[in-house]
Amino acid sequence: MLAQQRQQAILERVRRNGAARVADLVRELGVSDMTIRRDLEVLAERGLVEKVHGGATATGAGSTEEPGFAAKSVRQQAEKEAIARSAAELVRPGTAVALSAGTTTWTLAHFLTDVPELTVITNSLQVADVFHRSGRQDQTVVLTGGVRTPSDALVGPVAVAAIRELNVDTLMLGVHGMNLRAGFTTPNLLEAETNRELVAAAQQLVVLADHTKWGTVGISTIAKLEEAHVLISDTGLPEDARPLLADQVGALVLADPREAAEAAAQ
């Protein structure tokens, strides 16, 4: 296969799935890791894809554009890991915790499988699957039901009705963007409605948002900044954003990806 043909195949995969991993492309196209990375460089220079750690994602991000779960899962992996570790420290055994859909909450779910006697409410197929695979008998997982979105969230009237009957201690909320004016937002109107019900059901709201979410605005607001009891971001958050957010939320926590990586290695 010529380089141009290979690059076209890569581009079509990225556009179809929203993202592509280097390892998958190496296996499918039968070329070296270095060759794939050079192809991604060429496509990125032409503005056709966005290079990220471990692969590439589709370009462009409007207020209604909703990347798929695969596309988001390759973005800011180190930051999400650090944020998830910090969030897990807030969860106590024997409590009821809601997890919204998203790749950061999905990362968090892997840490929460070690928490005994936990009740988890989620509208995320991916999050529910993490707990299902753990096989713990002392944890209860409630999946809301509803209509599936590109990010594997379950939304709509079925999900809203299920959540409206519940009360949880803490909501771990993943968001598409955060902005002083718009607050915490999502590009999906139905997901915003479902997440607002999760916010209403929780005694404590913990928002998980890596630094790239700052300044991004989705079409629909989930909650105002001041509604968050805790906002967990990472040390990549711009210096000028830190006092602005700290003044709005109950507590601002900045997780350090390097420290998280060191902790994981021990």
pTM, two decimal places: 0.73
Element (H, E) at 175: none
Domain ranges of the chain: 3-60, 71-264
Beta strands across the sheet bearing 19-21? 19-21, 55-58, 49-52
Distance CA 161, CA 225 (A): 25
Give pLDDT tens digits for 16-57: 777 888 999 999 999 999 999 999 998 888 777 888 888 888
Token pair of 11, please?
A: 């581009």
Residue 213 DSSP label: G
| Yes or no: domain 3-60 corresponds to CATH 1.10.10.10 | yes
71-264: CATH number = 3.40.50.1360
Stretch 85-97: mean pLDDT: 97
The DSSP bridge pattern shows strands 154-155 and 119-122 to be unpaired
Give pLDDT tens digits for 191-232: 999 999 999 999 999 999 999 899 888 889 999 999 999 999
Amino acid at 7: Q
CB contact burial 116-128 (16+ within 10 A = b; e otherwise): eebbbbbbbbbbb
